[in-house]
Structure formats: structure tokens, C-alpha cells
A and B are shown apart, each in its own frame.
Chain A
Amino acid sequence: MSIEKLINHPHIWRGDNSQSSDVVHSTGFKELDSHLPGGGWPTATLTEIILDGYGIGELSLLMPALARLNRPQDLEQAAGWVLWVSPPFIPYAPALNRHGVDLTRMLVVHAGRKHRDSLWAVEQALRNGSCAVVLAWVRSADENALRRLQLAAEESCCWVVLFRPKKALQQRSPAALRLQLLSKRDSIQVEILKCRGGRPKVIRICRGEMGDTEW
């Protein structure tokens, strides 16, 4: 098999071939932006965030992008909705408001205990096409389910963020971006595990940058 043939094979994807045509949204953190291909969160894909427990800064990390995404950029473009699927606690309105998120375009779904139901809800939201961002807390999902979501996300131009426990590290994932979050005393450590068109990297983001001025 000649090398050209191999390169053109549809199942082979070259890492350095960064898909710059994809729309990205700035994360709001310079350090992180510079290490993500295109300079921001890849939309129209699946992003997996792996962390132990809750509340070590995973929401603050997303807030700048969320606030920008659910406000209309110009008058003709309608703002997108933000869907929260099975959040572990109550997304607290005063804090969200402070971060500039438009609360009138937020929808929360409690999909019950079965992870299948949560995945169903995410997929419906993707097929529907009115959501700009879907945040989902899914304890377990097999590779097929994730692949389905990845395909649906690409089709609907919607950004899906899955929050997953640490044991998901042992699983293969079709997600375009995979991060692991660790909390440090005055920073959070963002480890890029997998990044389509980029390289693995460890980044530290200061708490001070995340809008916590009092640290």
C-alpha cells in the first residue's frame, strides 16, 4: 500500500491537520486559548471534562464562554439556549447573573437516575437545534453512546460538555477535546488529555483569573 493511499484513507486522521475551519469560542483564559487549536473551545463537538466530585472550578472555567454564547452577537442571530442535563446541585441564579449568563435562556432538566435518560435528553436537544450549549452530568456512558452524541453535535453545531467521573479515564472516547481538572490551593490545573489538532498539555489557571477577585 503506497503512502498516498494510506494518507487518503478515510479512517486515518492526521493529528497535525488542524481543522481551522471549525468555529471556536474563546475560553476567556489566555493560557488555555493559546493551547487549544483555533484558540478556544471547539463548538459543534463533544468536550469531556473529567473531575473528581463537584465544585472545583469546572463551572467558572466555562462561564466566560457560556455568557458569550447565550447572548445574541448581533440582532439577526437569535441567542442560543443553554441546557443543563441532570446537574448535581441547583445552578444558582444570582451567581449566574453575575457572570453575565442570560437566565431567560436557560433550561434545566432532571432526567432521573438512569444515565440512559440523560443521554436521551442530550441527544434530543442536539437534534432539536435550538441549544447553543448542552451541559450534561453523565456518570457512565459507553463508547457507542458517546459517538452518537459526537455525531449529533457535529450535525447541529451545538457544543456539548459532558462532566464525567474519574473512572471514565479508562475508557476510550470519541470526544474532540478531553480535559481533566484538578484543584490546587490557588489555581486549578487543566490537563489536556486529548485534543483534536493539538497536543496534550498541562495548564494552570489562577483562581484570580476566574473572577474570584478576593483570593
Chain B
Amino acid sequence: MTRSINSLSLLTGETSSSPSDSASQSPGWRKFHKNQLWIAVLLPNISLESHPDYDPNEITVVVEPEEGHHRVVVANKDALEIGINRDLKLSTAYALSSTLRVLKRYPDSERAILEAIARRARKITPVVSLVSPQEFLIEVQGSLKLFGGLRAIKKALQTECECYRLTVSLCAAPTALAALWLVRHRSEDVRTIKKLVGNLGVLPLKVTGWPERTQLTLRSMGLQTIGDCLRLPRDGFIRCIGREYLLQLDRSLGEYDSSLEFRPSQSLSSTFEFMDEVTDPAVLSRVGENLIQELVKVLRKRQVGVASFDIVFQHLHRLATVERINLLGPTQDQERFLRLFLDRLERVILPAPVVALALRTGQAEVVVARNMTLFSNGVRLQPIDAIENLIERLRGRFGATHVFGISFIEEHRPEVAWSKSLDLLVRQNKSAALSFSLTHQRPLWLLPSPIPVPGVPNDFPHCHRQAILLSKFGPERIEAGWWSGKKVSRDYYMALNNKGQRLWIYKDHYGAQNWYLHGIFS
């Protein structure tokens, strides 16, 4: 059950942010008109068939831990024959067969195989959408002619899956969700929107993958099929079950556009192996430079950029030293990579000589290259780019948390009235207009945390050996924060000490009523 919930949240998550969501709010509902044909590919036994230890000649099940016991996820044909079905407890399965072979589930390898097939499906169409863990969808309307019709495409998909020795079910429908639901019930293809209602109507509720509780509610109302749900009044359905489920029904019938795209992850890596053990940083930097040059060439060719990369120093008989470099955004700028690489190389402490140097990039993303001027008389970088470079270099050396911006928060408590902001460039777009204005003065320096000041007496005004309270300023009473648990009740004064510093001190009304130094007017 949990698996299908995952897939659902994937689908709903995507569409809720799409413009079609706003259409659902308005009474005039946009009719879905784009001509599409989706094929849902279901690989029901992928967790068994992709398992490295699977032997089809034995009675085998794949299990998954669940609430203190193991549960059968998939059973092979032999196991099914002796009555071991999915969702059975492992102990029950053992009772049915003592020679049972039990395999643990490998979600990572399942995912890898699914992605591999999805990637190959991109030969047929660019629109591929992954519904993990065992299904994916492709949109083929535009490819029908080129590949010789739906039957040929389905055949091609089948052969792809058979290459991996996977059992596969396919089903085509004009909407993505309908194709998915139909394939889960192993139904026939539906080619036109008109026939969709009739074909979907007979499907049991199970295929929707809605949460068990929702399905139970529906069943207790006497509803068995999707058709039963469609016959209910819309507003009543929203009230009892929820708007998102109604939206899903609409989407399956083609009321709204729904598609989410799968893009295969692309990360690049290349390695240079030395003939000898190397310690000389000059050699390392030269090799690194070559690797970066190669990388940038590939990036330019593919028109993608990367936002992070790892430098891997491999040692003999030792774990490799991995240095991660993060950039502020995806780029293919060779200079930038090189500078960050050299900065890091300068600082990295290698525990042993290096036998190989590798460069591994993070996820590659599409970047839009900016137009250059024809005449390079103004070679100066755009200021926005320049500051990005600076931030990256400083962060590369001092760490991301030590390079930050400062923002003003409308708050009375002094320590909460400012904050570090680490996403410096996003912040820029926000307008700096603030309606909040303080009537009292604030110091330019704030102490990271208030320091207790010994010996300042309670009387006021008062001259003291160390500090004079200045009567013209304050006291300013700040009492706030009861709602967040960090209650503050203080009287702030300005004081002058014998060094000529003007201090911002306060008397705490809680605890021992001590005096604290909180800032310096500078």
C-alpha cells in the first residue's frame, strides 16, 4: 500500500503547482483538449526480477520489513502455485513451503533498472514520466507515425523490457492517470476520450492507489468501482472524501492536463590515473586543469551546466579523499571551476600520495548561455556574476555558514530583529521597503549573546565607577515574545564607560534581575 501512496503523491505534487490547479478553483472548468496518447508501463515483478540473486527455478519471494514482521512483496510463479501470494506474512509463507528462498528487497537497484528502461524509452518520445517504484508513463501521440503505430511502439517497449528479463504489462489511454489505472487492472487499450468513462467506470477502486482509509470509507458507502464514484454529486464527494481525489478523477477523464516529466539524471565523471604516486601539487593542478577542460567541453556540447562537483583524490590502500565544491548555480564556466579547484587544492591536506585524480559532477542541468557582445571592449563581468564568483570563492575557503548576508526582521526583541541569510542572491530580489520604524536608537554593533555586567546598581540615574547611565536615552522597555516561549522583559539604557564606548545595556526583569551588555553604539 505504501508504495502506491508514493506514486500518488508524486502525481499530485506535480499538478498542484501547475497552472491547471488554479483552473480547478474557478467554476468555468477548462476542458482538456490536447490530443494525447499515454502508455503506462507496469513492471509488476521488478523487485524480484531485478534482484541480483534471483534464480527462476526456485520457489522465491521478495520480502519487505513491515511493523515487526516481514511481508511478501512479490512471489514468483512457483511460489504462486503453492498459494504464496503477495501481502502474506513471511511466517505463513514458510508454513506453505519449507524450501522457500527469501530475498530482501533492493530498492536502489530496482530504481536503477526502472530508470534505465525509462531512459531507453526516451528514444521513442521525449515525454517520459516516472511513477516509482514499478511503473512509468510515456506520451506517444507525436511518435505514432514515425514508429509505425501504437502496436509497433508497444512491441518495442516489450522487447526493451525483455532485454532485462522483466515481465511487463502495457496499456494505452488518452490521459496519463487513466493509462496508469487501466494497466493496474490489466485492461485493454482505450484510444478515444469518449470511451474512457465506460472503461474506467468498471475498474475497482483498488487501482487508484488511494490511501486504505479513503478506500474503506468509499467501500462502506457501498461504492465498489470508479464508476460508482463518478455517479456521486461533486460537492458531496469533495466534502466526504476530499477535493484532491475528485481532481484525480477529473484528470483521469481528461478534464485537466496532467503530465510530469522524467529527466534522466546526468552526471559526468572522468579520472586520470598517474603512472606513479604523486604528491606534487603542481602536477595535481595541471591534471585537474585538463580534467576541467574536458568537462567543460562536454558540458558545452550538451548545453548543460553543473552546480557542484567532487574532486576525488585516490590513494593506494586507503580511502579516497573527496572534496565537494558547491557553486551557487549551474554553470559551464571553465574559469570558475578552475579557480575553485585551485583554491581547494591549496588547502586540502592529503593523507597519502595520490595515484589517481577524478572529477565527478553533480546533476547536470540545462543552462541558458548568455549572449556575448561582439566587441570585447567592456570585458568587465556583470556585477551579479562577479559577486556570485566572490561568494563562491569565499565559501570555498571559509565554509558556507561563514559567508552570509544580514537581513532586518520586523521584531521588537533585539536579538530576533536580524538574521543571517545564506541565500544571498535570492534575497536581492526582495524589495527592501520596510514599514517598521523604531522610535529608539539601536547600536551598530550587537553582541552575539548578552554578557552579564557585574555591579551596575538598580538605582537610576546613577553614576558608577565604570559606567554612567545616560538619562536622556531610555529606559526603553521591551516586553515581547510570550507567544514563542522566548519571553523577554527588559529595560534598555545607554551607558558610557571610561574608554569612551557607549554601551547598550539592559536590566532583565526575570531571574535575578541582572544587568547585561547587549550592544555597542559605534
| A121 at interface, CB cutoff 8 A | yes
| B405 at interface, CB cutoff 8 A | yes
Residues from chain A with a CB closer than 8 A to the CB of B510 are: none
Asked, given contacts A54-B445, A88-B445, A124-B393, whether A109 binds B402 with beta carbons under 8 Å apart, the answer is: yes
Main SS of the interface on chain B? mixed
Residue interface mask A120-140, B partner, CB < 8 A = 1: 110011001111000000000
| B349 at interface, CB cutoff 8 A | no
Residues from chain A with a CB closer than 8 A to the CB of B393 are: 124, 128
Separation in Å of the A170 CB from the closest CB of chain B?
21
Residue interface mask B135-175, A partner, CB < 8 A = 1: 00000000000000000000000000000000000000000
Asked, given contacts A54-B522, A57-B522, A183-B499, whether A90 binds B445 with beta carbons under 8 Å apart, the answer is: yes
Asked, given contacts A55-B522, A98-B438, A130-B383, whether A124 binds B405 with beta carbons under 8 Å apart, the answer is: no
Residues from chain B with a CB closer than 8 A to the CB of A182 are: 500
Docked complex: B384-407 residues within 8 A CB-CB of A: 384, 386-387, 389-391, 393-394, 397-398, 402-407
Asked, given contacts A96-B406, A98-B438, whether A56 binds B500 with beta carbons under 8 Å apart, the answer is: yes
Contact check, A124 vs B394: say whether CB atoms are below 8 A apart.
yes
Residue interface mask B110-150, A partner, CB < 8 A = 1: 00000000000000000000000000000000000000000
Separation in Å of the B520 CB from the closest CB of chain A?
3
Residues from chain B with a CB closer than 8 A to the CB of A184 are: 500
| B473 at interface, CB cutoff 8 A | yes
| B418 at interface, CB cutoff 8 A | yes
Contact check, B444 vs A96: say whether CB atoms are below 8 A apart.
yes
Contact check, A81 vs B387: say whether CB atoms are below 8 A apart.
yes
Residues from chain B with a CB closer than 8 A to the CB of A104 are: 405, 407, 427-428, 430, 432
| B424 at interface, CB cutoff 8 A | yes
Contact check, A129 vs B386: say whether CB atoms are below 8 A apart.
yes
Q: From A95, A106, A125, A183, give the contact of B405 (CB < 8 A).
A: A106
Residues from chain B with a CB closer than 8 A to the CB of A103 are: 405-408, 432
Residue of A nearest to B410 (CB): A94
Q: Most chain-A Cβ atoms within 10 A of its Cβ — which of B406, B407, B521?
A: B406
What bracket does the count of chain B residues touching chain A fall in? Answer: 35 or more
Asked, given contacts A94-B408, A96-B406, A107-B391, whether A56 binds B522 with beta carbons under 8 Å apart, the answer is: yes
Contact check, A91 vs B386: say whether CB atoms are below 8 A apart.
no
| A33 at interface, CB cutoff 8 A | no
A91 to B343: give the CA distance in the assembly, Å.
28
Residue of B nearest to A85 (CB): B394
Asked, given contacts A125-B390, A131-B390, whether A108 binds B444 with beta carbons under 8 Å apart, the answer is: no
| B453 at interface, CB cutoff 8 A | no
Residues from chain B with a CB closer than 8 A to the CB of A56 are: 499-501, 522
A94 to B496: give the CA distance in the assembly, Å.
21
| 10 closest residue pairs by CB, A with B | A183-B500, A55-B520, A93-B418, A130-B386, A59-B522, A92-B446, A93-B408, A89-B445, A95-B442, A128-B390
- A residues neighboring B (CB under 8 Å): 52-60, 63, 78, 81, 83, 87-99, 102-112, 117, 120-121, 124-125, 128-131, 182-185, 188, 212, 214-215
